[in-house]
Structure formats: structure tokens, C-alpha cells
Amino acid sequence: MRPLVEPVAALAPEELIRTARHAVLAAIGEEGQRRLANARIAVVGAGGLGSPVLLALAAAGVGELVVIDDDTVERTNLQRQLAHRVDDIGTPKTTSAARAVRDLSPLTVVEERPVRLTPDNAVDLFSGAHLVIDGSDTFDTREAVASATETLGIPLVWGAVQEWAAQVTVFWSRPTDGVAPVVLGDLFPPGSAGEPPTCAQVGVLGSLCVQVGGLLATEAIKLVTGAGEPLLGRLVVVDALRARQDVIPLSSGRTPS
């Protein structure tokens, strides 16, 4: 699939050094790194999934990150939300996450949005983003995120984790290169999902959040640079207890536009 983002003209000398291991990586290279530097990615949630996503994208040299979360850091978050520290308890997660991003990548511009995402503000929150990564933890929010990305026609890198299990995929209502669209409703038809139990009720494996966050960040990097094959039309299902990771076809039944 063609790259989602055009490259900047050149990287700063210090950024060339910091990201040198991407410059020699097949399918990214120096041009792909310049595409990452020109990318604007919105991340919904700075918690269990959002934390490793933001750290990975900052380390990768993404130019702009929009962090959307209305919560504050609590002590129970620290078991899995790696962007935050003990000293951040009581601080808005957007502020704590932005600090972590800047510590890794000083040239990355971080836009903090300490608000609750709703169907009414989602499109505005995603304004100018090349893609969105959803690390939210309620299905109402996931539906609002999906609806906004479908309206805007931009990719949605989507993940969910609970207890020892996780799912990862890419939705895109208007993909390029004659690829058939796939949206959240193809995985969860309206009204079919219900509301999953919370982490406080059933728990979540902290290291699995890191694993899944890494998968989400990798899909975003692939979309930005045009590397490899995105998970559009495929669902990764992770069973950490049994050390299984399966890929399931996911189709909308619609023809490419």
C-alpha cells in the first residue's frame, strides 16, 4: 500500500543520529524516516495501550502526536501504563504522557487534549491527523472514534486488551490502491458488543498491554511509510496464557471504491 504521508525535505542532524537504525531498515530507510517526521497521529487514551503506543511513536520520530485523555494518573495505573511515574500521580495523563514523549524525542510536537472524546467532538479532535490509534477502554468511545475516522476517511489502528487476551486490527473506510474498506461495524455490528467489564473488575496483564501497544505502533509506522502489509482485512487475536497469536480474515463484503 502506498505511503500515507509525504516526507519532509530533510531531518535535523541530531534526528538523523537518533533514528539511524531506521535509516538502514529495509522498507523504511531515510525517506521513510522523513515521512514519520511529517506525520500527525492522534492517540485516544494515554493508559494501558496509549502509553506504549506514545513511547514507541515518539522513539520512532513521529513529528506530531495528539494525546486525547480526560483522566489523571492513579497509583493502580502504574502496573501497566508505562508513560507515567509515581511522581505523576494526580497529574493529567496527557501532561504526563507529553513529558515522556518529549524526553524521548525533543523534536516531536505534542498536542495535549485533556478532554473526554464524544461523538460531538471526535472529528474536531482528529483534525489534520493522518491516522488515529484507539487505545480507549469503553465501547461507546470506540464507536465514536470509529465513526469520526469513517467520516474523515482516515485509517483507524484499533486494539483491545482484557485479562490475558487482546485483538488488533486496522479499519479504513476509504483505503487506497483499490483495497476493500473494513470498518468497526464489520467486526462488531451495531448493538452486538455490549460493554466489556473494566480492568478493575477482571484485571489485565501489564506486559500484554506493552505487547499490544507495540503492535499498534508498528501498524501506524507501516501505514505512514508504506512498509509491508497493514492489518486491514485481518484481525490479530492474542492469547497470552497459551502463547498463541492467530490471524483471522476480516471482510466487509464491499467492493473497493
Distance of CA 31 to the CA centre of its chain: 22
Which pLDDT belongs to residue 177? 85
| Residue listed under C-alpha cell 489523571 | 72
Does residue 8 lie within any of the structural domains? no
Distance of CA 211 to the CA centre of its chain: 13
Residue 169 belongs to domain with CATH number: 3.40.50.720
Count of other CB atoms within 10 angstroms of residue 5: 22
Does residue 256 lie within any of the structural domains? no
Containing structural domain, residue 219: 13-249
Does residue 224 lie within any of the structural domains? yes
Which among 34, 29, 28 has a CA at the least distance from the CA of 10?
A: 34
Does residue 3 lie within any of the structural domains? no
Phi-psi domain of 224 (left: phi exceeds 0; alpha: psi -120 through 50; beta: other):
alpha
Which pLDDT belongs to residue 196? 74
Does residue 68 lie within any of the structural domains? yes
Q: Give, for all 257 residues of the chain, the pLDDT tens digit.
A: 899 999 999 999 999 999 999 999 999 999 999 999 999 999 999 999 999 999 999 999 999 999 999 999 999 999 999 999 999 999 999 999 999 999 999 999 999 999 999 999 999 999 999 999 999 989 999 999 999 999 999 999 999 999 999 999 999 999 998 899 999 999 998 877 667 777 788 999 999 999 999 999 999 999 999 999 999 999 999 999 999 999 999 987 666 76
Query: Residues 7-11: contacts with CB within 8 Å, 24+ apart?
Result: 7/31, 7/32, 7/34, 7/35, 7/37, 7/38, 8/34, 8/35, 8/37, 8/38, 8/63, 9/34, 10/34, 11/37, 11/61
Task: State whether residue 159 is helix, strand or coil.
Answer: strand
Which pLDDT belongs to residue 27? 95
Which among 171, 233, 237 has a CA at the least distance from the CA of 208?
A: 237
Does residue 197 lie within any of the structural domains? yes
Work out how many domains the chain is built from and give that number: 1
Helix (H) or strand (E) holding 160: strand 156-162
Partners of 244 in the β-ladder: 239
Does residue 239 lie within any of the structural domains? yes
